[in-house]
Structure 1
Amino acid sequence: MRHTLFCLLLISLPTWAGVYTYIDADGNRVFTDKPRSSTYERVDLPTTNSMSGQANTPPTPVKMEEPTADVVRYQVLRILVPEPDATIRDGAGNLIVTADSEPGLITGHSYRLLLDGQAVGEPGRSPVFPLQNIDRGTHQLAIEIIDAQGRTLERTPSQPFHVIRMSLAQKRNANPCKKDDYGVRPECPIKDKPPEEDDGPLSILPFF
């Protein structure tokens, strides 16, 4: 019992105060931190465990590097030919598309032509794209700038153009077929060549 009281007293007393003990009039041992006479004996307390008062230092945050952006940005990318909503009159449906960019194409980048949303031909450094045999009707054009991995960096808005191709009948009406045109001009097929004129039996008689 006395040992328990002693432990409780040690816990309740300030860690910096001295502890003294004496025997009271009833023969009980008493512990106190305030000695009142020379009969009080000092109690040597054992060293207690203690924790360092140093505050926990939070870990230094690691700075994440942001992805490096392309140094060069294209201010302008446009289609020079044909103009938006242009009408192309070509019997063979041929067209040369020309583009331009500011600044000019940098190393590792390429131009790519899109016709009706589909890539046409291989990307290249040249901004000139020849197209052949385009169907009559309305089509959409766009130009892209891509990097070496094929990622799109810039793209023009899609712009319409219209192709008018004369039919063979229209060409034949505009320029009627002559005898020597059959088998030569597409609108003058050899099967439509009229038969040769026959002068009759007299044409084979010898001249008298």
Structure 2
Amino acid sequence: MKAWWLILCLLALPATAEVFTYVDAQGNRVYTDQPGSGSAKRVPIATSNRMSANPTGATPMIAAKKTEETPLFHYDMLRVLVPEPDATIRNSAGELIVSVTSEPGLQKGHRYRLLLDGQPTAEPGLSPVFPLTNIDRGSHNLSVEIIDELGRTVERTANQPFHMLRISLAQKRQVNPCTLADYGQRPECPLKDKPEEEKNPFLRFF
């Protein structure tokens, strides 16, 4: 038992220490860190498999802080001014001027974007006025949103309906008949349709 205790103590020595063994005069196996007599033999010791708490020797990595995104700005009010909700627009070319407003005013880096039936009508911009052309006859929905510099939607209005009536030239003439002075002046009164003026019957005698 004593010999095994000695072995454990010697194995606990640093890896650089040497261990020797020999058999003494009484026939006992002896382990020591001293070379001793010529019969002593060196005992090979396996390299320690203990790992360093910090094997790379580098300082612990500090996780990079996630860049905090700027919180969204809140507008007290955003709405479509023109046309009014459920308005009826009469225009033969399907043209419409849309005007929007916000409170407070547009912030730095923000842009207005108008949507017609859920689709953007143009790239976001600073102007609150949007000219639209060639809108199909029928009912449509308008909404406006504010986009920040990161492309995020800051505010958006609910859909606002309007109705486009595109009157034909013939219908315009029916509503407001052409007079002789209107031909060549109103689109629905072209010169080619101007009737010939009646000659004064009294001029035939001169």
RMSD of aligned Cα (Å): 3.9
AA at the equivalent of 1:45:
D
After superposition, residues 38-187 of structure 1 pair within 5 angstroms as 44-45=32-33, 56-57=53-54, 60-75=60-75, 76-91=77-92, 93-116=94-117, 117-120=119-122, 123-148=124-149, 151-154=151-154, 155-187=156-188
SS of 1:113's equivalent in the other structure is: strand
Unaligned runs of 5+ in 2: 13-20, 36-44
Q: Which runs of 5+ in 1 are unaligned?
A: 1-8, 33-42
Offset from partner CA, 1:46-67 (integer Å, 9 cap, x none): 5978869896159735323223
Q: For residue 167 of structure 1, report the CA deviation from its aligned partner.
A: 2.3
Secondary structure of the structure 2 residue equivalent to 1:14: helix
Whichever residue aligns with residue 96 of structure 1, its letter is I
- CA distance in 1 between partners of 2:50 and 2:167 (Å): 95
Query: What's the CA shift for 1:13?
Result: 2.8
TM-score, L = length of structure 1: 0.63
**How many positions carry a matched residue from both structures?**
180
In 2, the alpha carbon distance for the partners of 1:81 and 1:165 equals: 18
Percent same amino acid at aligned positions?
A: 46
**Contact preservation (8 Å) 2:113, 2:120:** no
- Post-superposition CA distance 1:132-189 (Å, at most 9, x none): 453422233232323457x243344444321113322222222221121111122222
